[in-house]
Chain A
Amino acid sequence: MIGKGVKIIFLMSLAALLLLTVYEMRDFGEPEGKMYIYDPVAGENVDGSVERTAMDDFFLANSTSDETATNNVVSAVVFDYRGFDTLGEATVLFAAVTGVMMALRGAFPEKGHAKKRKGGGVK
Chain B
Amino acid sequence: MKPMSSVVRTITKLLLGPIFLFGAYIILHGHLTPGGGFQGGAIIATVMTLVLIAFGTRVWKKNILSFIESTGLLAFVGLGFLGLGSGFFLFNFLAGSDSLFFGKVIEPVTGEFAGWPANSAPLLSGGTVPLLNLFVGMEVVAALTLIIITMGLFAFDGKEGE
Q: Which residues of A contact B (CB under 8 A)?
A: 64-72, 74-76, 78-80, 83-84, 86-87, 89-91, 93-94, 96-97, 100-101, 104, 106-108, 117, 119-123
Contacts and interface: CB of A to CB of B under 8 A. Distances in A.
A123 B161 contact: yes
A74 B162 CA distance: 46
A84 B90 contact: yes
Given A66-B95, A90-B136, A94-B69, A71 B161 contact: no
Contact of A80 (B103, B118, B129): B129
A101 B119 contact: no
A123 B32 CA distance: 49
Interface of B: 30-34, 36, 38, 62, 69, 72-73, 76-77, 80, 89-90, 92, 95-96, 102-104, 113-116, 118-121, 125-129, 132-133, 136, 139-140, 143, 146-147, 150-151, 153-154, 157-158, 161-162
A94 B143 contact: yes
Contact of A75 (B96, B119, B126, B147): B126
A69 B36 contact: no
Nearest to B120: A71
24 contacts: A66-B95, A69-B102, A69-B115, A70-B95, A71-B116, A71-B125, A72-B31, A72-B34, A75-B31, A75-B129, A79-B36, A80-B92, A87-B80, A91-B73, A93-B139, A93-B143, A94-B139, A96-B143, A100-B147, A101-B150, A107-B153, A107-B158, A120-B154, A120-B157
